[in-house]
A and B are shown apart, each in its own frame.
Chain A
Amino acid sequence: MNQTVEPFLKQAATAAGQSKPHESAHLHVTGSAPYTDDILELTGTLHCALGLSPVAHGQLLGIDLDAVKAMPGVVAVITAADIPGRNDCGAITHDDPILADGELMYLGQPVFAVLSADREAARRAAATAAKVIRFKELPALLTPQEGHAAQDYVVPPMHMVRGDAATALAAAPHRMDLHVDLGGQEQFYLEGQISYAVPRENDGMLVYCSTQHPSEMQHHIAVALGLHSHHVQIECRRMGGGFGGKESQSGVFACIAAVAARKLKRPVKLRPDRDDDFMITGRRHCFYHDMALGYDDEGRVLGTEVSMVSRAGFSADLSAPVMGRALCHFDNAYWLPHVAMHGFCARTHTQSNTAFRGFGGPQGAFAIEYALDSIARQLGKDALDVRLANLYGVDTNNVTPYGQVVEDNVLQPLLGELIASSDYRARREAIAAFNAGSPVLKKGLALTPLKFGISFNVVHLNQAGALVHVYTDGSVLVNHGGTEMGQGLNTKVAQMVAHTLGLSLGRVRVTATDTHKVVNTSATAASTGTDLNGKAAQDAALTIRKRLTQFLADRHQVPAESIQFANDCVEVAGNALPFNVVVTEAYMARVQLWSDGFYTTPKLHWDRETMQGHPFYYFAYGAACSEVLVDTLTGEWKLLRADVLHDVGQSINPALDIGQVEGAFIQGMGWLTTEELYWHPKTGKLLTHAPSTYKIPTASDCPEDFRVKLFDNRNVEDTVYRSKAVGEPPLLLPFSVFFALRDAVSSVGGHKVNPPLRAPATSEALLDAIDAVKAAQAKA
C-alpha cells in the first residue's frame, strides 16, 4: 500500500480516478484536431511519392531516372546514392535500407523517391516504378515454411527451457501433437504513415512525424544525413492510431523526407497512399506452431515442447523481441512444469514484420490456448475446466518458464467472478440444447483467461522523462516522452499532474512530443506509456509541489505536512490560498516553478542468452466469455454476446480504460476472424492492400450484448495510483471468440473431433473445419 497517494484519491474534486473525456475529444468531433497532414504547408513544400520494387527478390540493375524525371511536374528523383550518411533505418539490426541498393528484397520495397510540388504528380511518376526499375529476378522465399526449411533466419533461433520436457512428455499418460496456423494482422491505423521534413538553420532538420518513437526517428535521420542528433528535431502532437505500426516503421518515411528536404533545401512531405502504406510496411507476424503436449487425465499439461516460426519478412526489424515476447507468453495463465520452446524468425521476401499491439504475446499465448482447447475435447471435458486445472497457483506452481515468480496472481477470483456473472455453466447447457435442435445454425461458447507481462523485455528501455512548467497565472504545461495515438496517454498524464498539484484538469495542458524537450525517449509501446511517462510527470509535479510546500511552510511558519493541494487551492493553516496566488508569490520569491521528472521501472533484470530473469514489473489479468452463432452451410457467423472482466489495477480513468479494453477486444477479434492477409503465391505481391480487400471489423461486428467490467483490484507494485497498463493485454480477450467458434464447429461432430480450425477463422476457414469434422465423424 502506498500511503502517500491514498488520501488524494478520496478527494472528490481530484482529477485522477475519474472518467474524463479524451483531452482532444472536443477537437476530434469538430475536425479541429490537427494531424501531421493538417499542418499548414510552408511555401515551397514538395510532395514525395515512392517508386516500389515490382519483384519479391532481385538484383537491382538500374533505374531509368530520365524517364521518371520527364514525367509532368517532377522536380527531382532521389535514390540510395543521394543518402549522405548510412542507408539504414533498422530498429536494432542494420539490415533495413532506406532505399534499395543493390538488392531488391520484397515486392513493395521503396527504390526511389519522386518529388513534385503536386502530390498527385509525384504519385503518378512514382507509379512508373515497374517500368523504370531494371532488375534480375532471384529466387524468393515467400512463406515462413520456406524460410524455415532453408534455415534462413533474420536473427538466430531462440530457446527457452525449464525442466525436462522430453522426459515429462514420455512419462505423461497422454500425448498430443498439434499444428496451429495463426495469421498476421495489418495495423490499419486510420491515419497513414506521414512525415513532413522542414530544413532549419545551421544543418537543422525539423520533422513532423506520425510516430510512436520520436527519438528513434531522430537517430535514424541523424545517421542517414551524417549529422548529430542535436541537429534533428522530431515533433508529434498526435497520431491517428499507431498500434505498433508507427514504432520502427515510421522510420523509412521520416528518413526519405529528411534526405530529400536536405538535398533540395525545401520542405518535403511524404504521405504514402493507403495501398503503398500496405505494400511498404510490415505488420503483426503470422506464426505457425508445432507442439507436442503430454498431459494427465485432468488435462494438466505435464510436458510441452513447442516450435514457433514467425514470418519475419526481409529484415530483422523487431522480429527478435516479438519472438521473445511470444516465448514469454506461451504460458499465458498456466503453470507449465516442463517446457522447451524454440523460436524461429524465418526470413521471407515480403514486408518486414514489426510491432503490433501485444507484440508477439498474443501469438505465443494463442498456442497454449489452442492446446488446452484440444486437450479438453480429447478428454471429453469442458475446455474451461481444463483451463482451470492448469492455472498458475498463488503460493506454488507460480514460476514462469523464464524464472519470474508470479506474485500478483488474481486469476482465481477474476475467473470465478466472470464464470458467475456470465452464467457460463447454465449457458453451456442451454447451448447444447439449442444445438441439438438446430439443423444449420450452431452455437459455441468459450471462456478464456489472460495474463500479460508489463514492461519492455529490454531493461534499459524502461525509463522516461517529463517536464512540468507552472506559469505565474497558475496554468500548467506538461511535456513528456510518450506519444498520443488515441489511447488517452495525455489525458491520464494531465490527470496525474492536476491531481498532484490539486488542480482541476482544465488548468493542465499537455503539449506535442518533441525531441528538443524530453530526450532519449523510449517508444510509446509495450503498454508502458502511462506507467513510465505518468510516473515521470508525477515526479516533476511532486518536485514543484515540494518546493511550493517548503516555500509556504517557511513563509507561514507551519509544518510542511499540514499543507494540502486541492480544489485549485493550497490549504495553509486553515486558509485556502488560490493556486495562482501561491505560484505568483513563489515566483516573486524566486522559487523554480518548473521541473523535470524521471522514472525508471524497478526490479527488472533479464538474461538474453538464457532467457531467464524478471522481465516484467507486474502482470495484468483478464478474461472473456463469448457466445457465437455459426452457419454450418456457409461458415458465416455472428458474435451474440461477450462478457469481459479485465484488470487495470486501480483505474486512473475508467472510461479510457474501458475504451482500451473494448477496442482491443474488437481489434483482436478482427485479427482472429475477418482480417486475412493474402500474398500472391507466385509473385509474393500482397493482394489484400486496402480496406476493399482487407476487412477490419465494422459497427455491426460489435456484439449487441457486450458486458465489459473492470476487475476490482489495485496493483501490488508501486505504479501510478496503483493502476495497471491497459494497451495490449485485452487484445488476448477475443481468444474467447475464436474458441467459441471452434466449439460451435466441434458441435457438428458431437464434440468428439478436434476441428482443425486455422486463424483467421474466416467463413472459408470455418467451413473447411466443419467439413473436416464431418468427414472425420463419418470415418469414425
Chain B
Amino acid sequence: MSAPTPLPPLESPTRPVRFMHQGEVHTVQGLPPTTTVLQWLREHAHCTGTKEGCAEGDCGACTVVLGQPDASAPGGVALKSVNACIQFLPTLNGQALFTVEDVAATNGGQAHPCQQALVDCHGSQCGFCTPGFVMSLWHMYQHHEHPVSREDAADALSGNLCRCTGYRPILDAADQMYKAPRIALDLAPVADALQRLAAEDTGTFFYEARDAADPGRKVRFIAPRTLPELARWRAALPEARLLAGATDIGLWVTKQFRALGDILYLGRVEELKAINPWGPPEAPQGLEINAGASLEDAWRLLARHVPALREIWLRFASPPVRHAGTLGGNIANGSPIGDSAPVLLTMGAEIVLRHGDATRTMPLSEFYLDYMKNALQPGELVQALRVPLPAAGSALRAYKVSKRRDSDISAVCAGLWLRLEGDTIAEARVAFGGMAATARRALKTEAALVGQPWTEATMRTAQAALAQDFTPLSDMRASAAYRQRVAANLLERWWLETRPASPLRADVIQVWPATV
C-alpha cells in the first residue's frame, strides 16, 4: 500500500483528455464527460468509418481497439477491443485509439490481410457491420499469430452482428487472413508516445466540462491512480458515480439520458486490476480478484482453474464487453440477471468492501439485499472478490440458459456445488440468477441436499424444494413457468453429470458442453 498522501483539491484545474489516434496525439476539452468515443469519432473528428448500430454495445458496428501502455504486452502496448458507443471519451486519456481507418495504415496503406480476406471471401454485403468485424479480426490477428479454431473465431466475433452474410464467409476470412504473409505491428512509436503522455499525466486526472443532461452545470471526471486515493475520493464524494467499464452505465446515458453527475473512474488504478492467489502462500485456496479486473481476465483465469466454468466465460457477453466490463462492476451492479453473482455465490466467494483506508469482508451471499440494493454504505466501494477454488473432483457446475448462445442475457443462470463425504452430501451451495429480485442462493434446495446421498431421489426432492425457493417473473426473456421448469431441470443435468454412479459426460447431455 502506498503511503497516504493528501487528496488534491476538488477545485483542481481541468486537464484535457489526451490520447493517440491515427498516429497523432489528440487533445480534447469542453465536451461533456459522458460524450462517447463514438460520438467524438463521428461528430467531432468526422471519422465516420466506425458505425453506430445500436448504441448499447450489442451489435459491434462501433468496435474499436484501445491500446494501453503495458510493459508485459508485446510492443509495450496492450490491445483490447471495446464498443465505442458506450465508452466515455475521458476514459481514453493516456491510451491509443485504433479505428478501421488505422488498419490499412498498419500495412503501409495497403489492405491489411484481415481486410483483404473479407473482400476475397465475400464477407461483406451491405458493409455496415464490416468495419466492426475488421476491428475484431484485427484484434484477433494481433493476439494470435496462427489461425484459431472455428469455435474460437466465432467467440472472437460474438459481439459483431451481421444481418446479411450468415457469417460463413466472415469465419472463412478469419482463417484466410493467416494465409497472407504476416504483417507485424510496430507499436514502438505508440508505446513511446503513450509513455510521454503518461509522464506528463501523473496523479489524479481531473476533467471538468458541462453536463450533457444540464448544460448549465459543470461536472467532473476524476480518475485517481492508486487504490488509497480512489478509496478516499470515494469517501469524500459519496454521491459521485463510480465508473468502471461503463458497459451498463453507458446505456444509462445513451438510452435513458440519466445525469451521472460527478464521475469517479477506477479504470486508471492499476492495482485494482490485479488478480492474485488468495490464502496462505504455500497453499493458496483461491483467487483474489480485484474489482477492476476485466470480465475477460477474471473469467479466463477462473475457467483455467475450474474448467466447468468455460462455457459461462465464453457466453458472458462478447469480447468487447468482457474487455471493458469488470467483475467488480458486474457484482456491484447487482443485476438479478448478471451471470457472475450466481456462480460466485456457489463458489462461496467473499466480497471485500473498502471505505477510506478501512476494509471489511462479508460473504457475497450477504451483499445483496433486494432488487438493485446492496450492502455498500455511502462512500464505500467494492475492492475485491475472494473466490475459493473448489477441491478437485467436487461437483461444481455452472449453467446458463438464454435464447441465443452468444452474447445474450440469461433467462436462468445456475451455479451448483456440492461436496460428498463418503456417500453423503456434506455441503451444498445452489444459486440462481434470473429467478428472483437478486441472484441468490436456494436455501431450501440446499437443505434438501445436505445430509442425503447424491441419488436421483435426492435430486427430485431438491427439485421440489427449488419450487419453494423462488417465484420468478415472466418477461420478454422467458416466462415464469419456463424459468421454474428449467431451473429444476438444470438440477437434473447437474445430477446426471456428477452422480457417483456412472456420471454422464457433459457432451452427452449438453448442446454446448463446458468441458469435453
**A interface residues, Cβ below 8 angstroms from B:** 19, 21-22, 24-35, 37-38, 40, 72-73, 119-120, 123-124, 127, 187-192, 238-243, 273-275, 438-441, 485-488, 629-631, 633-638, 655-656, 658-659, 662-667, 674, 676, 678, 687-688, 690-693, 695-702, 704, 706, 708, 762-764, 767-768, 771
B462 at the interface (CB under 8 A from A): no
Q: Mark B402-445, 1 if CB is under 8 A from A, else 0.
A: 11111111010000000000000000000000000000000000
Pairs across A and B, CB under 8 Å, 12 listed: A30-B111, A31-B131, A486-B164, A629-B511, A633-B493, A658-B122, A659-B122, A662-B168, A664-B166, A690-B56, A693-B477, A764-B482
Alpha-carbon distance between A98 and B375 when the two chains are bound, in angstroms:
50
Contact of B127 with A662 in the complex, beta carbons under 8 Å: no
Given contacts A25-B119, A29-B124, 5 further A-B contacts (CB under 8 A): A29-B134, A35-B128, A440-B493, A662-B166, A768-B482
CB distance from B58 to the nearest CB of A (A): 4
B150 at the interface (CB under 8 A from A): yes
Contact of A274 with B55 in the complex, beta carbons under 8 Å: yes
Contact of A663 with B165 in the complex, beta carbons under 8 Å: yes
Whether A631 touches B168, Cβ cut-off 8 Å, given contacts A30-B49, A190-B61, A698-B406, is no
Contact of A28 with B127 in the complex, beta carbons under 8 Å: yes
Q: Mark B108-138, 1 if CB is under 8 A from A, else 0.
A: 0001000110111010111111110010000
Alpha-carbon distance between A376 and B417 when the two chains are bound, in angstroms:
45
Contact of B111 with A26 in the complex, beta carbons under 8 Å: yes
> Which residue, A32, A275, A663, has most C-beta atoms of chain B within 10 A?
A663
Alpha-carbon distance between A775 and B281 when the two chains are bound, in angstroms:
56
Q: Mark B42-81, 1 if CB is under 8 A from A, else 0.
A: 1100101111111110110100000000000000000000
CB distance from A200 to the nearest CB of B (A): 24
Alpha-carbon distance between A439 and B497 when the two chains are bound, in angstroms:
12
In the complex, identify which listed stretch (B210-218, B229-237, B288-296) lies at the interface while the others stay far away: B210-218
Contact of B100 with A30 in the complex, beta carbons under 8 Å: yes
Contact of A704 with B150 in the complex, beta carbons under 8 Å: yes
By a CB distance below 8 angstroms, the chain B residues around A124 are 213, 257
Among A274, A634, A665, contact of B489 (Cβ-Cβ < 8 Å): A634
Contact of B126 with A239 in the complex, beta carbons under 8 Å: yes
Alpha-carbon distance between A630 and B510 when the two chains are bound, in angstroms:
9
B287 at the interface (CB under 8 A from A): no
CB distance from B319 to the nearest CB of A (A): 12
Contact of B119 with A767 in the complex, beta carbons under 8 Å: no
By a CB distance below 8 angstroms, the chain B residues around A629 are 511
Contact of A21 with B127 in the complex, beta carbons under 8 Å: no
Contact of A638 with B477 in the complex, beta carbons under 8 Å: no
Among A635, A658, A678, A763, contact of B476 (Cβ-Cβ < 8 Å): A678
Contact of B56 with A22 in the complex, beta carbons under 8 Å: no
By a CB distance below 8 angstroms, the chain A residues around B493 are 440, 633-634
Contact of B167 with A636 in the complex, beta carbons under 8 Å: no
Contact of A241 with B126 in the complex, beta carbons under 8 Å: yes
Whether A190 touches B158, Cβ cut-off 8 Å, given contacts A123-B257, A698-B406, is no
By a CB distance below 8 angstroms, the chain A residues around B129 are 190, 240
Alpha-carbon distance between A767 and B99 when the two chains are bound, in angstroms:
43
Query: Which residue of B has the minimal Cβ distance to A686?
Result: B476
Contact of A127 with B161 in the complex, beta carbons under 8 Å: no
By a CB distance below 8 angstroms, the chain A residues around B50 are 31
Contact of A29 with B111 in the complex, beta carbons under 8 Å: yes
Contact of B485 with A767 in the complex, beta carbons under 8 Å: yes
Whether A120 touches B212, Cβ cut-off 8 Å, given contacts A190-B59, A191-B51, A440-B493, is yes
CB distance from B278 to the nearest CB of A (A): 33
Contact of A691 with B56 in the complex, beta carbons under 8 Å: yes
By a CB distance below 8 angstroms, the chain A residues around B478 are 764
Q: Mark B149-166, 1 if CB is under 8 A from A, else 0.
A: 011011101101111111
CB distance from A167 to the nearest CB of B (A): 43
CB distance from A435 to the nearest CB of B (A): 13
Contact of B404 with A273 in the complex, beta carbons under 8 Å: no
> Which residue, A33, A192, A242, has most C-beta atoms of chain B within 10 A?
A33
By a CB distance below 8 angstroms, the chain B residues around A22 are 122, 124-125, 127
CB distance from A644 to the nearest CB of B (A): 11
Query: Which residue of B has the minimal Cβ distance to A124?
Result: B257
By a CB distance below 8 angstroms, the chain A residues around B486 are 633-635, 763, 767
Contact of B508 with A438 in the complex, beta carbons under 8 Å: yes
Contact of B56 with A274 in the complex, beta carbons under 8 Å: yes
B-side interface residues, number (CB < 8 Å)? 93
By a CB distance below 8 angstroms, the chain A residues around B257 are 123-124, 127
Whether A665 touches B128, Cβ cut-off 8 Å, given contacts A22-B122, A30-B100, A767-B486, is no
Contact of B53 with A441 in the complex, beta carbons under 8 Å: no
Alpha-carbon distance between A279 and B212 when the two chains are bound, in angstroms:
25
Query: Which residue of B has the minimal Cβ distance to A34?
Result: B48
Query: Which residue of B has the minimal Cβ distance to A186?
Result: B163
Alpha-carbon distance between A34 and B166 when the two chains are bound, in angstroms:
23
> Which residue, B49, B150, B160, B168, has most C-beta atoms of chain A within 10 A?
B168
Query: Which residue of B has the minimal Cβ distance to A678?
Result: B476
Contact of B511 with A638 in the complex, beta carbons under 8 Å: yes
Among A659, A678, A692, contact of B58 (Cβ-Cβ < 8 Å): A692
CB distance from A202 to the nearest CB of B (A): 31
B353 at the interface (CB under 8 A from A): no
Contact of A486 with B122 in the complex, beta carbons under 8 Å: no
Contact of B55 with A273 in the complex, beta carbons under 8 Å: yes
B475 at the interface (CB under 8 A from A): yes
Among B131, B215, B477, contact of A73 (Cβ-Cβ < 8 Å): B215
Among A488, A690, A767, contact of B125 (Cβ-Cβ < 8 Å): A488
Among B101, B125, B215, B489, contact of A486 (Cβ-Cβ < 8 Å): B125
Contact of A485 with B126 in the complex, beta carbons under 8 Å: yes
Contact of A667 with B166 in the complex, beta carbons under 8 Å: yes
B492 at the interface (CB under 8 A from A): yes
B20 at the interface (CB under 8 A from A): no
B496 at the interface (CB under 8 A from A): yes
By a CB distance below 8 angstroms, the chain A residues around B402 are 763
Which B28-51 residues have C-beta < 8 A from chain A? 39, 42-43, 46, 48-51
Alpha-carbon distance between A631 and B486 when the two chains are bound, in angstroms:
11
By a CB distance below 8 angstroms, the chain B residues around A438 are 508
Among B39, B59, B99, B411, contact of A691 (Cβ-Cβ < 8 Å): B59
By a CB distance below 8 angstroms, the chain B residues around A40 are 46
By a CB distance below 8 angstroms, the chain A residues around B146 are none
Contact of B508 with A441 in the complex, beta carbons under 8 Å: yes
Alpha-carbon distance between A655 and B123 when the two chains are bound, in angstroms:
10
**What 3 pairs across the A-B complex have the smallest Cβ distances?**
A31-B49, A486-B126, A240-B128
Contact of B407 with A698 in the complex, beta carbons under 8 Å: yes
Contact of A486 with B127 in the complex, beta carbons under 8 Å: yes
Alpha-carbon distance between A696 and B56 when the two chains are bound, in angstroms:
15
Query: Which residue of A has the minimal Cβ distance to B474?
Result: A681
By a CB distance below 8 angstroms, the chain B residues around A633 are 486, 489-490, 492-493, 509
Query: Which residue of A has the minimal Cβ distance to B58?
Result: A691
By a CB distance below 8 angstroms, the chain B residues around A26 are 111, 119
Whether A25 touches B127, Cβ cut-off 8 Å, given contacts A30-B104, A273-B55, A486-B164, is yes
B103 at the interface (CB under 8 A from A): yes
CB distance from B417 to the nearest CB of A (A): 19
Query: Which residue of A has the minimal Cβ distance to B135?
Result: A31
Alpha-carbon distance between A664 and B164 when the two chains are bound, in angstroms:
8
CB distance from A524 to the nearest CB of B (A): 13
By a CB distance below 8 angstroms, the chain A residues around B154 are 698-700, 702
Among B46, B103, B404, contact of A674 (Cβ-Cβ < 8 Å): B404
Among A240, A700, A704, contact of B126 (Cβ-Cβ < 8 Å): A240
Contact of A701 with B128 in the complex, beta carbons under 8 Å: no
CB distance from B413 to the nearest CB of A (A): 12
CB distance from A641 to the nearest CB of B (A): 13
Alpha-carbon distance between A667 and B405 when the two chains are bound, in angstroms:
16
By a CB distance below 8 angstroms, the chain A residues around B115 are 29-30
Among B164, B477, B490, contact of A663 (Cβ-Cβ < 8 Å): B164
B308 at the interface (CB under 8 A from A): no
CB distance from A702 to the nearest CB of B (A): 4
Contact of B511 with A637 in the complex, beta carbons under 8 Å: yes
B15 at the interface (CB under 8 A from A): no
By a CB distance below 8 angstroms, the chain B residues around A238 are 126-127
